[in-house]
Structure 1
Amino acid sequence: MSNESPRALITGNSSGLGLGLSHALLDRGYQVHGCSRRGCAALADRVVDVHCDLSDFDTIGPALDQLLAGVERLDLVALNAGILGEIEDMSRMSVARLAEIMDINVWSNKVILDWLLDSGIAIDQIVAISSGAAVLGNRGWGGYALSKATLNMLCRLYAHEFPDTHVAAIAPGLIDTRIIDTLCDLKDTERFPALARIHAARGTEALLSPAAAAERLLEALPALKDFESGSFVDVRQILAPEEYEELMAARNRPGR
């Protein structure tokens, strides 16, 4: 058995959940490799890090070549980078804008997965950070929900091509990041009722800090392997089933 430290690759590690995961994995003795557009200045002396704009697909391969040079095994890959896009009715979202959201939230991950397949690196577990929005279909979450639903299927399809790796898309729950700041600044809760739930979560235990969300996600990793590879799993199904049931019951249904 190798005595080397476990290794993880995290995308979008400069802030939010990605930064929280980096801290939590470092505390567990991992060697963390990260890539993000801004770079991870907060952990500059502790992680192996490269700058990479995931909207520029041609730069992803060279960035990973540099970041993972000489790496033969990854215990965890966390495909975390993503954007919210606008909270708006689908009819008001242009195809061009939807394509931009899909590029970041879906197709950049395809480029990464293809690179990993070709690299020959042995990978134990891949988790793609999805969202409950992928299945709730709440009004206003158009581009984000579409991209995360597609990400879920991307994981299911790639599970066939990573037979020795457990692949899952996982919804981590509400996390206190800049996305939440943006959502709490939006006041049109009548047109977009799901905003009200997010506003109400501010200052409560339902809204986790990035550090707490990272700990919860890592706690759930072993149980993820009880699900079929390629599954979409909401972390609340594993660790907070009552919270998950409340979330599903509060779904913003059409015509209501």
Structure 2
Amino acid sequence: MSKVVLITGGSSGIGKSIGEFLTTKGYEVFGTSRNPDRYPASKFRLLALDVADITSIENAIKTVVETSGRIDVLINNAGAGITGPIEETPDVEIKRNFETNLFGPINVIKAVLPQMRQQNSGLIINITSIAGYMGLPYRGIYSASKGALELITEAFRMEIKDFSIQMTNLAPGDFATNIAAGRFHAPVTKGSPYETKYGSVLKAIDEDVDKGNDPSLVANAVYKIINTSNPKIHYKVGAFMQKFSVVLKRILPDKVYEKLLLSHYKI
């Protein structure tokens, strides 16, 4: 029996790549989008789901179960980028980012757990970010929301271990996706005390994404995790130096690591 996979945010970028790859491997894949009708050429079925709308989450999960009888794998991939000086980032945008990157995945997990508990099996993969391991300048909100999901996963794993349900994090580095076009950018405001440095860092961030790796590498990592009997708590995928930066964060004194980041971003 082929495994049934539900991927939030499956219409583009990393989610689309994961869905297409798993489809070629024989999995029964359901993706989600807030507007699935915009993607008639999708190679797997897309369901309407907004991670900020609990009713839409419940309806999508109900559809998968009614169609296939189970959900073997949930991939919490839907997410949003955000950049800007924290001081100048509107509160409404900060809250919206946490709704998408943290509260949304939590709500999807809470909605799928009863079905997986009934099955006495299941795997949940939360797509986080290497940025979630460190507070990055002008990406502090994004770092915080993704870092919070990493910690939530650690706690969740221990709470659900008696139900034969596994959970893990997969943290990508920079990949060539459309995240830069879709994220909220606090404007580079003329006369702002952050104008010069934020403008410079924002340009560097966009260039890193444009030069990022092929998202198929994330799809391959997901496939390997699904076929691992006892997944680790944390996985990382991306360029060597991005993954190594997490190691450096762990072993270097805080101020030394901070100086490395300041040097990297030329601020």
> TM-score surpassing 0.5?
yes
Report the CA distance shift for 1:226/1:52 in structure 2 as closer, same or farther (over 3 A).
closer
**Map of 1:148 onto structure 2:** 146
Distance 1:27 1:252, change over 3 A: farther
- Distance between the aligned counterparts of 1:157 and 1:242, measured in 2? 28
User: Which residue is 1:112 aligned to?
Assistant: 108
Gaps of 5+ in 2: 189-194, 249-256
Matched with 1:245 is: 244
Q: Secondary structure at the match of 2:26?
A: coil
- 2:87: which partner in 1? 91
Deviation at 1:78, TM superposition (A): 0.8
Residue pair 1:152, 1:169 contacting (<8 A) in 2 also: yes
* Correspondence list, 1:173-252, <5 A: 173-181=173-181, 190-191=197-198, 195=202, 198-199=205-206, 201=208, 204=211, 207-219=212-224, 222=227, 225=230, 227=232, 231-236=233-238, 244-245=243-244, 248=248, 251-252=261-262
1:121 deviation in Å? 4.0
Structure exhibiting the larger radius of gyration computed from Cα positions: 2
Q: What are the equivalent positions in structure 2 for 1:73-88 lying under 5 Å apart?
A: 73-85=70-82, 87-88=83-84
- Relative distance call for 1:201 and 1:125 in structure 2 (3 A) is same
Identity %: 21
Counting only pairs closer than 5 Å after superposition, residues 13-32 of structure 1 correspond to structure 2 as 13-32=10-29
Measured in 2, the distance between the counterparts of 1:224 and 1:102 equals 31
Alignment check: 8 A CA contact 1:79 1:129 kept: yes
* Amino acid in structure 1 at the alignment position of 2:197: E
Change (3 A) 1:203 1:104: closer
CA contact (8 A) 2:124 2:166 kept: yes
Contact 1:136 1:251 in 2 (8 A): no
- For the Cα contact (< 8 Å) 2:8–2:15, is it kept in 1? yes
Distance 1:33 1:182, change over 3 A: closer
Unaligned regions of 5+ residues in structure 1, if any?
none
Q: 1:110 to 1:50 in 2, by over 3 A?
A: same
- Identify if the C-alpha distance between structure 1 residues 246 and 102 changes in structure 2 by more than 3 Å, giving closer, same or farther: closer
Q: 1: distance between equivalents of 2:128 and 2:90?
A: 23
1:60 aligned to which of 45, 57, 74: 57
TM-score, length of structure 1 as denominator length: 0.79
Figure out how many residues of one structure are paired with residues of the other and give that number.
Answer: 241
In structure 2, what is the Cα distance between the partners aligned to 1:222 and 1:132?
Answer: 23
**Could you say which residue in structure 1 is the equivalent of 2:47?**
50
Of Structure 1 and Structure 2, the greater helix share is in 2
C-alpha displacement at 1:209, in angstroms?
Answer: 2.5
Number of the residue aligned with 2:3 = 6
1:66: how far off?
Answer: 1.8
Query: Which residue type is aligned with residue 16 of structure 2?
Result: L
Change (3 A) 1:225 1:193: farther
Amino acid at match of 2:6: L
C-alpha spacing 1:196/1:244, structure 2 compared with 1 (3 Å): farther
SS at match of 1:68: helix
